[in-house]
């Protein structure tokens, strides 16, 4: 095992740890603003995990759309709906123990499935230049979902605006 290979393994574990710890903070921390900032590190960590399986285009997409788009949307949502000056933005929990049970049961079940299935592991794939390959696939094999998703985006845009707009009281 060479030094670079060792470095790669260490980096994988570091970023996996960052992902999981910040996800833990995002879920269990009381302050909703801090959990959004913890989610930033989770999404970043997941992007790095994508890089380890040669999904470079997806890592960039994850950073652009999640960190640049969804996270900013969530922050706007918090700032527009919480009275930050008057009340502190801590939020409580409901049904803590049933949810804890659901978490434990679900996680153990997933572990059971993961380690009891004979995965058909083929070894690491040899992806190169996934960006151009993905572009080709989107324009050939996956053209219909690609076009449908553009219509879906338009529909969501119109729908979100019409839901969020302030209706005049009719009288």
d(CA 65, CA 9): 27
d(CA 38, CA 93): 18
* CB nearer to another protein: pick between 3 and 5: 5
User: Residue 58 CB, nearest distance to another protein (Å)?
Assistant: 6
Query: What backbone torsions phi and psi does residue 53 show, to the nearest 5 degrees?
Result: -110, 30
Instruction: Confirm if 74 and 36 have CB atoms less than 8 A apart.
Output: yes
User: Residue 171 CB, nearest distance to another protein (Å)?
Assistant: 17
User: Residue 136 CB, nearest distance to another protein (Å)?
Assistant: 9
* CB nearer to another protein: pick between 85 and 102: 102
* CB nearer to another protein: pick between 115 and 170: 115
d(CA 104, CA 133): 40
């Amino acid at each position: 095992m060479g030094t670079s290979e060792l470095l790669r393994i260490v980096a994988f574990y570091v970023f996996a740890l960052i992902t999981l710890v910040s996800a833990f903070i995002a879920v269990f921390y009381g302050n909703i603003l801090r959990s959004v900032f913890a989610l930033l590190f989770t999404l970043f960590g997941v992007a790095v995990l994508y890089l380890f399986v040669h999904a470079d285009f997806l890592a960039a997409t994850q950073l652009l759309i999640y960190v640049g788009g969804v996270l900013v949307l969530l922050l706007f949502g918090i700032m527009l709906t919480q009275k930050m000056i008057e009340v502190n933005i801590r939020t409580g929990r409901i049904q803590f123990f049933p949810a804890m049970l659901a978490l434990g049961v679900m996680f153990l079940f997933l572990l059971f499935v993961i380690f009891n299935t004979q995965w058909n592991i083929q070894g690491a794939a040899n992806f190169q230049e996934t960006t151009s390959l993905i572009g080709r696939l989107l324009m050939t094999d996956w053209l219909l979902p690609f076009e449908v998703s553009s219509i879906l985006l338009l529909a969501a845009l119109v729908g979100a605006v019409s839901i969020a707009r302030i209706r005049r009281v009719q009288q």
